[in-house]
C-alpha cells in the first residue's frame, strides 16, 4: 500500500514536469520584424556592374565593388533608443535586405552608423569573434587594415576613362577605401510613427544612390585627380568620399 | 552480452585515448636575468604545443597564395630573422620596407614601423592578408590546413578549438615571443663581467653611450630601442609615421629598430639603402639626411676614422650567435 502511494506521488510529479516542459516548448508568437532593404542605384536606376556611367566631368566609369559597414542600428521612440543590430557588412551590387527583430514595437525613427564605432574599431582583434560575426577575420571579408588596425568603413572600386568617348575601354582603376574614427558618420531617418504587433513586419526601402559618390552637386569628384585613397594615403579625399556616400542614403 | 558491453566500453576508452594523444604542458622561455619579465597575454601563455604549432605555421608555405612563401621567406634564422634584401615585397609596392628582425618581440609595445598594431597576435594577420606578401584570405588558409590531421590535432590540444584565425594568430605569436636574443659578447661583458672585450670595442661602447654621439638615447635599454619614432632625414617616397597620423611633422619617421644582431641584418634603414655598418655609421657622422623632420639629435659628430671603426666594432659585439644557431627555432621535419 505504502509503495502504491509513493508510485502515485512519483507519477504526479513526473506528469507535472512533463506538462511544465510542454509549456516551455510551446511556440511563441513571432516577434515583429523590420526589413531594411538597401537598393543600390545610379541616376535613379538599379545599379548594374555592366553599365558604363558618365560623371559630371564627362568621364566614364564602371562600379565593380561596393562594401560598407553599418553599425549601431537603433530604433527610437521618443527618448528611448533600442539597439537592433551591432554591426553588419554589406556587399551591395544587388539589393540586400537586413531583417531585424524589433522590440519595443513602436518607434518613430531609425538610425545607424556608417562604419564601425570607435569602441569596436581600434585596438580590436577580429580573430576574437566567431566567423559568423561581420567583425571577424572572415566576416570582415577584406574590410580590415592589418598594418594599422581598424576596419575599412566603405569601399568603392571600379574602372574609369577620362575622354568620355563612347565605347572607349575603361583602362584605369579607381579605389576608395575610407575608415578611421574621424570618418564614422551617424545617419537618422524619420519613419513616422510605426507600431507593430506580434507577427507584423514592415519593410523600409533605403536607396543607396551610388552616383552621389561621384556627382554630389556640392562636391563632385574628378577622376583625373581623385581616383585613389586608402584614407591614410589621401585623407581629404577619403573625407569627401565619406560625406558623398552619406548623402547617397535615402529612405523611400 | 557482458563481454560485448566490456568490448564496447574498452573501445570507447581506447578511442578517447587516441583523441587525447597530444598532451600539452606549460613551458617557460629562457631569458637573461637582465631582461624584464614577459607579460604574456591572457589565454596565450606559452605551452609546448602552442610553440610547436606556431613554429609549424611560421615555416608553412601554405600560408601563401601560390604555396611558395612562408613567414621564414623574409625572416630567416641565420640572418637574425631578416632576409638580406633591401626591401621585402615580392611585388611593386610603395610601402615595401626592409624586413625587421624578430628578436625580442615579446617586449615590443606595438608593431610595424608606424606602431599601428597593438599586439603580436594581431600582427600575425597582416603578412598573411597583405597582397604584397603572402596574399591569402584566412578562409582559404583554414580550408588548406584543416585537411591536415596534424594541424587540427595541434590546435585542439593547444587551444581547445578547431584551427581558426584565433588559434593561428595565437600560435604564431607564441612562437615569435620565444625568439629571445640576449647572449651576445656585449651582454657577457656588460652584464656578466666577462673580460674579453677588445680596446677598440670598449672605445666603441664608450662612444655609443656618450653624450657626444647620443646613440643610446634612442637605441636605449636592454633591447637597444626606445620604441619611439624619429626621422633620420631621408627624403624618399615612404612617408612613415605620417601615414598613420596624417601629420606632416611625422613625415619620414619610423620606429627605432633594435640593434641586437645588427651585424647580421644588412642592408640597413627602412628602405635597405645602406649595405654595411660602416656606411651607416658614416651617415650618422655626417649628420644624417636633409629631410625637414630630421631628429635634432642627428647632427654632424666629427668622429675620426678610428672612432667610426670603434663604433662598428662595438655594434658587432651585439651579435648573439647562440640565437641564430638555435635549432629549436628551425623548421621541424615535414610531415
pLDDT in tens, B155-179: 999 999 999 999 999 999 999 999 9
> Do B162 and B257 sit in the same domain of this protein?
no
Give the contacts of B155 (CB within 8 A, at least 6 positions apart). B53, B161, B162, B163, B164, B167, B171
Instruction: Note whether A224 and A214 are within 8 A (CB).
Output: no
pLDDT for B148: 84
- Do residue B154 and residue B292 come from a single domain? no
- What is d(CA A114, CA A212) in angstroms, rounded to the nearest whole number? 15
Q: Is the per-residue pLDDT at A207 higher than 80?
A: yes
For the cut 90, the answer to whether the pLDDT of residue A8 exceeds it is: no
User: How far lies B152's CA from each of B47, B281, B329, B332, in Å?
Assistant: 17, 49, 22, 17
- The answer to whether position A181 is within a domain reads yes
Give domain status of residue B5, yes or no: no
- At A219 the three-state DSSP class reads coil
Angle between helices B165-177 and B48-58 (to 10 degrees): 100
Statement to judge: residues B167 and B195 lie in one domain: no
Q: Do residues B73 and B217 both lie within one domain?
A: no
H or E segment at B57? Answer: helix B48-58
In a domain, B12, yes or no: no
Burial B169-202 (b: 16+ CB within 10 A, else e): bbbbbbbbbbbbbbbbbbbebbeeeeeebeeebe
Examine the pLDDT at B191 and tell me if it is beyond 70: yes
Q: What mean pLDDT do residues A187-205 have? A: 94
Q: Name chain B contacts of A142, Cβ cutoff 8 Å.
A: 129, 137
Q: Do the domain assignments include residue B330?
A: no
Please report whether residue A8 resides in a domain.
Answer: no
**Cα first-last separation, chain B:** 43
Q: Please provide the average confidence, as pLDDT, over all residues in chain B.
A: 91
Residue B13 resides in a domain = no
Contacting residues of B for A128, CB less than 8 Å apart = 166
Contact A131 B116 (CB under 8 A): no
DSSP B111-127: BSTT--B--HHHHTHHH
Q: pLDDT confidence of A104, banded at 50, 70, 90?
A: low
The DSSP code for B330 is S
Q: What pLDDT does residue A10 have?
A: 52
Q: What beta strand segments (E) does B157-296 contain?
A: 229-231, 253-255
Residue A79: inside a domain, yes or no?
yes
pLDDT of residue B91: 60
Q: Is there a single domain that holds both residue B237 and residue B98? A: no
Query: What is the total count of domains within chain B?
Result: 2
Residues of B within 8 A of A149 (CB-CB) are 116-118, 122
What is the rounded distance in angstroms from the CA atom of residue A160 to the CA atom of residue A162? Answer: 7
Same domain for B231 and B117: no
Of B164, B181, B198, which residue is a domain's last? Answer: B181
Domain boundary among B150, B181, B212: B181
Is residue A212, in this structure, part of any structural domain at all?
A: yes
Write the DSSP assignment of A112-130 as a string of letters. EEES--HHHHTT--GGGS-
* CATH label of the domain that carries residue B70: 1.10.760.10
Longest dimension (CA), chain B: 95
Q: How confident is the model at residue B302 (pLDDT cuts 50, 70, 90)?
A: very high
**Contact (CB, 8 A) for B9 and B29:** no
User: Does A235 lie at the interface with B, CB-CB under 8 angstroms?
Assistant: yes
ipTM above 0.85, yes or no: no
Chain B environment of A137 (Cβ under 8 Å):
125, 138, 165
Q: Give domain status of residue B334, yes or no.
A: no
Distance from first CA to last CA of chain A, Å, rounded?
76
Q: The C-alpha cell of B211 is what?
A: 653624450
What's the number of domains chain A is made of?
1
- Domain enclosing residue B39, as ranges: 19-181
Nearest to A137 among B125, B243, B246 (CB): B125
Residue A33 CA to residue A27 CA, distance in Å, equals 17
Same domain as B158, residue B45: yes
Residue with the three cell numbers 573501445: B11
pLDDT tens by residue, A43-97: 999 999 999 999 999 999 999 999 999 999 999 999 999 999 999 999 999 999 9
How far apart, in whole angstroms, are the C-alpha atoms of residue B306 and residue B313? Answer: 10
Closest residue in A to B143 (Cα) is A138
Subunit contact B164:A123, Cβ cutoff 8 A = no
Same domain, B144 and B42: yes
In a domain, A15, yes or no: no
Q: Same structural domain for residues B59 and B104?
A: yes
The pLDDT value recorded for residue A30 is 81
Which phi and psi (to 5°) does residue A144 adopt? Answer: -140, 135
* C-beta separation of A14 from A8 below 8 A: no
Spatial neighbors of B97 by CB under 8 A, at least 6 apart, are B87, B88, B89, B113, B238, B270, B271, B272
Domain range for A202: 29-251
Per-residue pLDDT, averaged over B190-199, amounts to: 95
B124 and B142 co-located in one domain: yes
Average pLDDT along chain A: 90
Same domain, yes or no, for B174 and B116?
yes
Of the three residues B115, B148, B181, the one that is the final residue of a domain is B181
Q: Cβ(A33)–Cβ(A101) under 8 Å?
A: yes
d(CA B123, CA B113): 12
**Closest among A150, A138, A232 to B118, alpha carbons compared:** A150
To the nearest whole angstrom, how far is the Cα of B98 from the nearest Cα of chain A?
15
Residue B106 lies in a domain: yes
Do B157 and B214 lie in one domain? The reply is: no
In terms of phi and psi (left: phi > 0; alpha: psi -120 to 50; beta: otherwise), the region of B214 is: left
DSSP 3-state of A155: strand
Q: Is residue B130 part of a domain?
A: yes
Inside any domain, residue A246 = yes
Evaluate whether residue B14 is within a structural domain.
no
**Average pLDDT value for residue range A136-152:** 93
Amino acid at each position: 500500500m505504502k509503495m502504491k502511494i509513493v508510485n502515485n506521488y512519483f507519477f504526479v510529479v513526473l506528469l507535472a514536469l512533463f506538462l511544465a516542459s510542454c509549456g516551455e516548448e510551446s511556440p511563441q508568437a513571432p516577434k515583429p520584424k523590420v526589413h531594411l532593404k538597401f537598393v543600390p542605384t545610379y541616376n535613379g536606376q538599379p545599379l548594374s556592374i555592366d553599365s558604363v556611367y558618365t560623371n559630371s566631368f564627362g568621364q566614364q566609369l564602371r562600379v565593380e565593388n561596393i562594401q560598407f559597414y553599418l553599425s549601431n542600428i537603433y530604433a527610437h521612440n521618443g527618448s528611448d533608443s533600442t539597439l537592433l543590430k551591432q554591426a553588419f557588412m554589406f556587399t551591395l551590387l544587388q539589393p540586400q535586405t537586413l531583417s531585424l527583430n524589433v522590440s519595443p514595437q513602436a518607434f518613430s525613427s531609425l538610425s545607424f552608423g556608417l562604419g564601425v564605432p570607435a569602441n569596436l574599431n581600434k585596438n580590436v582583434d577580429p580573430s576574437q569573434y566567431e566567423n559568423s560575426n561581420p567583425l571577424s577575420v572572415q566576416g570582415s571579408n577584406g574590410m580590415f587594415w592589418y598594418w594599422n588596425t581598424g576596419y575599412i568603413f566603405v569601399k568603392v572600386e571600379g574602372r574609369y576613362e577620362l575622354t568620355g568617348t563612347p565605347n572607349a575601354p575603361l583602362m584605369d582603376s579607381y579605389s576608395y577605401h575610407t575608415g578611421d574614427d574621424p570618418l564614422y558618420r551617424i545617419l537618422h531617418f524619420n519613419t513616422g510613427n510605426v507600431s507593430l504587433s506580434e507577427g507584423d513586419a514592415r519593410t523600409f526601402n533605403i536607396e543607396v544612390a551610388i552616383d552621389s559618390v561621384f556627382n554630389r552637386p556640392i562636391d563632385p569628384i574628378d577622376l583625373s585627380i581623385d581616383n585613389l585613397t586608402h584614407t591614410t594615403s589621401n585623407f581629404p579625399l577619403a573625407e569627401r568620399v565619406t560625406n558623398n556616400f552619406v548623402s547617397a542614403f535615402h529612405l523611400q | 552480452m557482458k563481454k560485448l558491453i566490456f568490448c564496447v566500453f574498452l573501445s570507447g576508452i581506447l578511442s578517447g585515448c587516441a583523441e587525447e594523444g597530444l598532451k600539452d604542458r606549460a613551458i617557460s622561455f629562457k631569458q637573461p636575468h637582465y631582461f624584464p619579465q614577459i607579460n604574456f597575454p591572457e589565454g596565450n601563455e606559452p605551452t609546448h604545443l602552442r610553440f610547436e604549432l606556431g613554429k609549424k605555421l611560421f615555416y608553412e608555405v601554405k600560408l601563401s597564395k601560390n604555396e611558395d612563401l612562408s613567414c621564414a621567406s623574409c625572416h630567416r634564422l641565420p640572418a637574425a630573422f631578416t632576409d638580406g634584401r633591401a626591401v621585402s615585397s615580392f611585388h611593386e609596392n610603395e610601402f615595401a620596407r626592409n624586413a625587421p628582425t624578430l628578436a625580442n618581440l615579446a617586449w615590443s609595445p606595438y608593431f610595424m614601423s608606424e606602431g599601428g598594431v597593438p599586439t603580436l597576435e594581431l600582427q600575425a594577420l597582416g603578412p598573411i592578408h597583405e597582397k604584397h606578401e603572402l596574399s591569402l584570405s584566412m578562409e582559404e588558409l583554414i580550408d588548406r590546413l584543416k585537411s591536415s590531421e596534424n594541424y587540427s590535432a595541434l590546435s585542439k590540444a593547444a587551444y581547445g578549438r578547431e584551427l581558426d584565425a584565433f588559434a593561428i594568430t595565437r600560435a604564431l605569436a607564441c612562437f615569435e615571443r620565444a625568439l629571445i636574443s640576449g647572449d651576445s659578447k656585449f651582454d657577457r661583458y656588460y652584464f656578466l663581467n666577462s673580460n674579453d672585450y677588445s680596446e677598440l670595442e670598449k672605445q666603441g661602447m664608450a662612444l655609443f653611450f656618450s653624450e657626444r654621439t647620443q646613440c643610446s638615447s634612442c637605441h636605449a635599454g636592454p633591447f637597444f630601442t626606445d620604441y619611439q619614432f624619429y626621422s633620420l632625414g631621408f627624403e624618399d617616397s615612404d612617408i612613415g609615421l605620417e601615414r598613420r597620423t596624417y601629420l606632416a611633422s611625422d613625415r619620414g619617421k619610423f620606429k627605432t629598430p633594435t640593434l641586437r644582431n645588427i651585424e647580421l641584418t644588412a642592408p640597413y634603414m627602412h628602405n635597405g639603402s645602406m649595405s654595411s655598418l660602416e656606411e651607416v655609421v658614416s651617415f650618422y657622422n655626417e649628420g644624417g639626411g636633409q629631410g625637414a623632420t630630421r631628429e635634432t639629435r642627428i647632427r654632424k659628430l666629427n668622429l675620426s676614422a678610428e672612432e667610426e671603426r670603434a663604433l662598428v666594432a662595438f655594434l658587432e659585439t651585439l651579435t648573439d650567435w647562440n640565437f641564430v644557431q638555435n635549432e629549436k627555432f628551425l623548421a621541424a621535419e615535414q610531415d
